[in-house]
Amino acid sequence: MRDSAVAFAPATVANVGIGFDILGHTVQALGDRVTARRTDKPGVRITAITGVVTRLPLDAQRNTAGKAVMSLWEAQGGQGGVELQIEKGIPLSSGLGGSAASAVAAVVAANALLPNPADKMTLLKCAMHGEQVASGSVHVDNISPSLFGGLVLTVGVDNPRIKQVPVPGGVRCVLVHPHLELETRAARGVLSANVTLSDFVWQTANLAGFISGCYSGDLDLIRDSFEDVVIERQRQTLIPGFPEVRTAAMAHGALGCSISGAGPTVFAWCEAPRAEAIRGAMVAAFSAHGLDADSWVTMIEPPGARIEDGTA
């Protein structure tokens, strides 16, 4: 049995525009790292939080990683306790799945300490308990891709089914993170509980077209389907300059552009040769609204979370 393990879990783009709460994909450029150590003393303790975010609760009950490992330890009957060190690589309230990545990295690291490790579906459910602490709601569209990797569709909540959807070769994701924070709780709070019938039909068609386009490698179908007609219009006022950033991405040939998760990061899918021009145009559009931004171009592919120390 191991005494310690280090795990990395990638950042994620939740919703991917048209799959609110059910679709997400990995962003390999960024992630959170958690070191788990077995202790004789029972209970889960967080001993350090370092990296780009440090103002998070050390109380395990109130911390996504801590809560997720408490849930795992209880589910698997773990003996003794666990200490966690969290290294944040994902900015706070950025729309890049930071709370999910911490929860996923924590359960993957802690799982490596168990004599009878849990399967991935158990890890998913334990990470969901952690994510709930941060966002106040149960959604899996950050956790599933962070754990499984690539573009992931999650069907169901209590007994979720996971489907890794193929992404056509040569497609890239451009991410632009303006320097402001947007809490998921607040961004969910602006959403109406009702959808008109015509929007329901439109959104359903777009999701079906997008997924079909991914399976068949049909970039035209992906482009034509890549439009969120329900969520984006309600949230866009929370992100200064969003319409201009989206217009800039589309004008430079993006397949689609929308809000990453709850925002404020904006993402665009595109063919690889267009990625740098799209990135520059999106950053410039935020800059015109007085916002500095970080940006990345990433492939959309597995792996998901993994043990990093080479011994597991």
Q: Measured at CB, which residue is nearest to ligand HSE?
A: 261
63 binds ligand HSE (CB under 6 A): no
Q: To the nearest whole angstrom, how small is the minimum distance from the Cβ of residue 12 to ligand HSE?
A: 8
Cα 30 from Cα 128, distance rounded (Å): 20
Q: To the nearest whole angstrom, how small is the minimum distance from the Cβ of residue 215 to ligand HSE?
A: 22
183 binds ligand HSE (CB under 6 A): no
60 binds ligand HSE (CB under 6 A): no
Interacting residues with ligand HSE between 90 and 109 (CB under 6 A): 97
State which of residues 7, 15, 71, 254 lies at the interface with ligand HSE (CB under 6 A).
15
Residue of 169, 172, 145 whose CA lies nearest to 255 = 172
265 binds ligand HSE (CB under 6 A): no
252 binds ligand HSE (CB under 6 A): no
Whether the CB-CB separation of 99 and 131 falls below 8 Å is answered with yes
Number of chain positions touching ligand HSE (CB under 6 A):
13
64 binds ligand HSE (CB under 6 A): no
Cα 301 from Cα 152, distance rounded (Å): 10
For residue 111, CA distances in Å to 79, 131, 172, 307 come to 12, 17, 32, 10
Whether the CB-CB separation of 130 and 68 falls below 8 Å is answered with yes
274 binds ligand HSE (CB under 6 A): no
State which of residues 2, 4, 21, 117 lies at the interface with ligand HSE (CB under 6 A).
21
Q: To the nearest whole angstrom, how small is the minimum distance from the Cβ of residue 95 to ligand HSE?
A: 6
Interacting residues with ligand HSE between 114 and 143 (CB under 6 A): 139, 141-142
188 binds ligand HSE (CB under 6 A): yes
14 binds ligand HSE (CB under 6 A): yes
184 binds ligand HSE (CB under 6 A): yes
Q: What is the DSSP letter of 73?
A: H
Please write down the long-range contacts of 250-257, taking CB distance under 8 Å and 24 or more positions apart.
251/281, 252/277, 252/278, 252/281, 253/277, 253/278, 254/174, 254/278, 255/171, 255/219, 255/222, 255/223, 255/226, 256/17, 256/222, 256/223, 256/226, 256/227, 257/17, 257/226, 257/282
Sign of the alpha-carbon dihedral angle for 240, 244, 245, 246: positive
Nearer to ligand HSE, 229 or 312 (CB): 229
Whether the CB-CB separation of 297 and 173 falls below 8 Å is answered with yes
Q: To the nearest whole angstrom, how small is the minimum distance from the Cβ of residue 219 to ligand HSE?
A: 25
Q: How far is CA 275 from the centre of its chain?
A: 21
Q: To the nearest whole angstrom, how small is the minimum distance from the Cβ of residue 126 to ligand HSE?
A: 18
The token duo for 168 is 């056509």
Residues of this chain that bind ligand HSE (CB under 6 A): 14-15, 20-21, 97, 139, 141-142, 184, 187-188, 261-262
